[in-house]
Structure 1
Amino acid sequence: MTTAFAAVSLSLAASALHADDYPSKAIDYIIPYNPGGESDVTARFQEKFWSDVTGQDVVISYKPGAGGATAWSQLGGFDADGYTIMNVNFPHAILQPSIKDVGYQTGDVTPVYVFHYTPDAIVVRADSPYQTLQDLINFATENPGALTFGGSGTNSANHLAAVRFGQMADVKVTYVPFGGSAPAMAAVLGGQIGAGMTYTTQGVKAGDQVRVLAIATEERLDIFPDVPTFKELGFDYVAGAYRGVTVPAGTPDDVRNALSVVIAQINDIPEFQAQMQENGYVLVDVPNSEMGAWIAERQADYASGIETLKGN
């Protein structure tokens, strides 16, 4: 055996041992938002099953600010050993650095798994005159800029969705940003804005107080059997806020792959699936091995919307 071959063999063996041993202690799981939002809710759903899958616990903490940018810009300062992980949200982690300096670049974020998305949904108050999406489009066509869409944040998934809807329907709408999904929905219910560009999860929470006009999924959801998809209505649109788990750059590939397997196993638990689906989430499975191609696809998909946001 040559010296070089022996060195490579020892390196591979050490890597395998590292992966087999992971995780060997509790993991810190940072949420880059305030408690109570979709990122926190889904992490709490995962928390219940983490020890069943790994034998170790996760410790959830919060580092809110700037729509996630505060935490993501600090990601590189943590040890790259797989024991500090962070929730990551797309399109936010693509939009933010594409539009202005937020202290990080998309390439600085190293996701290992994307496990769900909250589909975009257009909602109105239950007593709204808009019975269908076409009613809303007709109003926006006849009254350019008069239709107000409330959503969570600026340069966010909701903001991008409002822009893309305007492009698809060839209408001018006015997007009104709020400090989160909850205050945006409160404005819808209070009649301060005409409609909410929000998520299916918010439609579930609001219940019969709202009418959901359309959802951005491939097929209708069991929780909204009477709500059409955008596709059914003639718009080739499947989108929302995709959430996953990221680690500091430089985390070894074997650890990233091991963490990817853990999240996949949690996604495969029927009880976890039921919790997610009952609350309006749609499960997806994008593992570490496919992450680069998936992010490139998202960047291409968001490109026209990003250009519009830059001009606002």
Structure 2
Amino acid sequence: MSEHKLKTSIAILGCGDVGSTLAYTLILNPICSEVILVDPKKELLEAQVRDLGDATYRGNTGAKIRAGTHKDAGQADVVVITAGAKQKPGESRISLLSRNLRILSSIFSAMAPIDPDTILLLVANPVDILTYFARKMSGLPESQVLGTGTSLDSARLRGILGQKAGVAPHSIMGYVLGEHGDSQFIAWSSCTIGTTPLSLALGKDLTNEFKEEIAEHTRGAAAAIIASKGCTAYGIGNIAASICKYILFDQRTVRPLSFYQPELGCCLSMPAVLGRKGIIKAMPIQLNDVEKRDLENCARNLRSIIEGAEEELDAEQKLKEAFEAERPAVQS
């Protein structure tokens, strides 16, 4: 890590619902000197900066907010990518992913060269797949590229279990692991309330039906919110701000984050120690046989999507090369 900087900055790429909510959270709970917003929609960008700037005048925040370029973002301490295409009616998941990968590629091209100490945080979905490709496109060390993954799903798990058990959510120790999506799973065997195993704390109430109800709640929460209001922003904005804090303050906090798993060949969420250099180390977690199978199935599904996306990208590249080869040479 380079010498200590007197000023710290967080760049947010994409100032839609999630990006602007994250920026507002960073203003209300300042952890950096400067928040840089970047978005190709210039009118929206300027309006968000002016609106958010008004929130800095109340006198008890030192954080400044400004519009910036991708080049500016590439020199920030933390870069948070919230930008991504929305799915069109009838569009396949792979096709949507291909569009988002093209956006991701253009972002890294515009940011280059990226400061070698920058930490990259992916929020845009599908977050596990985009994190996998971002580690290749960015040129940054594996430990400095991570996704929010199942951090919000795990927070939802703590919330609902806290309600059921009649305790504060922060007293629940439990993780949703794997994909931030349909194949995610709860590591029930390691869940505790304080130091008390969940099986002992809940007793006969911890039935298979209870577990399925909780799993369905955590898995379907985002879809239910989106169906009613069109997006989720506050929960993920708060989670992303917390992750930025753990990084900049080198807090060495353990959280479930999406990062590269060499033995599984993909990025998915597992517990990790988070600090100023990104992923400091993976934290081993004991899984039972069912949970191990869930993890393997999750990784298999993600690898299948990655392979499909790589094939489509290869086909696009070959088509582009064919067009360029057929283009007549410009006469001098």
State TM-score, norm by structure 1: 0.34
Report the TM-score when normalising by structure 2.
Answer: 0.33
The higher relative CO (CA closer than 8 Å, separation ≥ 6) is in 1
